[in-house]
Structure 1
Amino acid sequence: MGVGTFFHYFGTVLLLAATALLIVVSVTSPVVNNLSILKIDFSGSSTVDRITYGTFGYCIINSNGKDDCTSAHVGYDATGAITRVTQLTFSNNDRDAARVLTRVLILHPIAAGLTFLAFLLCLGTSFLGSFVASLFSALAFIATVIAMACDFAGFEIIKHAVNTRGPNNIDARWGPAVWCILAAAALTLVATILVFVTCCAGRVKKNRTRRGKTDY
């Protein structure tokens, strides 16, 4: 196996890993209650243990074991969960901004789909397949970055409000899904570069070999 082929398949493996990470982000609460992009922990005598925010909704994890989750859908009132269980309020602008940004989170599963398509195309060895794979991978990277930016921008509104104006018994922190999408963006970027460069290098090498045979 040549060096170019090795890097090509290494990029392919990175795309598969990125796909898995983006799937994890896509199944955050309310699909998987305790898997979150942002989590708010409650301490003391509160009847609520935690609020978890995900791609398609949120869950209020109660201490009695009965979770109160929204239905999974695109776009939701992210500030509504915290106002239900505390006296913390948000301005109309913050509430509307958070709601709009949650709609963009549909890019999580879209990016996962694009990354998986790029992975499948990379399994072939043709120039056209590899070139198209690099395009799909680039699109997946762009979608991932946009979704990640909306994650940080939208949920930072809630995180900042909770940690600066909220009761002393609550603490807002980033959940594991944020680091998953950050890692997925990095993996997709590296994979895009590797697949494109090895694709072009392989094409150049093939053309040189063909010209050498013709000259001979």
Structure 2
Amino acid sequence: MGVGTFFHYFGTVLLLAATALLIVVSVTAPVVNDLSLLKINFSGSSSVDRITFGTFGYCIQNANGHDACTHSHIGYEGTDALTQVTSLNFSKSDRDGFRILTKVMILHPIAAGLTFLAFLLCLGTSFLGSFVASFFSFLAFVATVIAMACDFAGFEIIKHAVNTRGPANVEAHWGPAVWCILAAAALTLIATILVFVTCCAGRVKNRRTRRSKSEY
């Protein structure tokens, strides 16, 4: 196996890993209650234990261990959850901004699909297949970055409000899924570069091989 082929398949593996990470992000609360992009913990005598925010909704876990989750849908009113269980209020611009940004989170599963498509295309070693794979990988990277930016911007509205204006027994933390999408963006970018470079290098090598054969 040549160096170029090794890097090509290494990029392919990175795309598969990025796909898995993006799938994890796509099934955050309320699909998987404990998996979150943002987690809010309650301490003391509060009747609520924690709130987990995900891609398509959120879950409120009561102190007795029972979860109350929203239905999965594109765009949701996450600020209402905190208004219900705390005295924290949000401005109309914050509520509208958060709802709009959560609609963009549909890019999570879209990016996962694009990344998986790029992975499948990378399984072939032809120039055309590799070139198309690098194109879809780049699209997946762009979608992932946009989704990640909206994740941080949207949930920062809640995180900042909770940690600066919220009750003393409430604290907001980034959930593990945020770091999953950050890692997925990095892996997709590296994979895009590797697949495109090895694709071009393979094209040049094939031309040189055909030229040398014609000389003989």
Would you say same fold, with TM above 0.5? yes
Secondary structure (helix, strand or coil) at the match of 1:40 reads strand
For 1:100 and 1:94, locate their aligned partners in 2 and report how far apart those are by CA, in whole Å: 10
**1:130 matched to which residue of 2?**
130
2:25 aligned with 1:25: yes
Structure 1 residue 64: Cα displacement: 1.3
Letter in 1 for 2:121: L
2:157 aligned with 1:157: yes
Structure 1 residue 57: Cα displacement: 0.2
- Runs of 4+ off more than 2 Å: none
Secondary structure (helix, strand or coil) at the match of 1:30 reads coil
Secondary structure (helix, strand or coil) at the match of 1:199 reads helix
2:83 aligned with 1:83: yes
For 1:2 and 1:44, locate their aligned partners in 2 and report how far apart those are by CA, in whole Å: 61
**2:210 matched to which residue of 1?**
210
For 1:56-205, list aligned pairs within 5 A.
56-205=56-205
TM-score by length of 2: 0.99
Structure 1 residue 63: Cα displacement: 1.2
For 1:77 and 1:163, locate their aligned partners in 2 and report how far apart those are by CA, in whole Å: 19
Runs of 5+ in structure 2 lacking a partner?
A: none
Structure 1 residue 108: Cα displacement: 0.2
Structure 1 residue 66: Cα displacement: 1.5
Structure 1 residue 44: Cα displacement: 0.2
Deviation track 1:164-208 (CA, whole Å, cap 9, x = no partner) reads 000000000000000000000000000000000000000000010
Letter in 2 for 1:67: D
TM-score by length of 1: 0.99
For the aligned residue pairs, the C-alpha RMSD in angstroms reads 0.4
Structure 1 residue 99: Cα displacement: 0.4
Q: Report the number of matched residues.
A: 216
**2:46 matched to which residue of 1?**
46
Letter in 1 for 2:102: T
Structure 1 residue 215: Cα displacement: 1.1
Letter in 2 for 1:55: T
Identical counterparts, % of pairs: 81
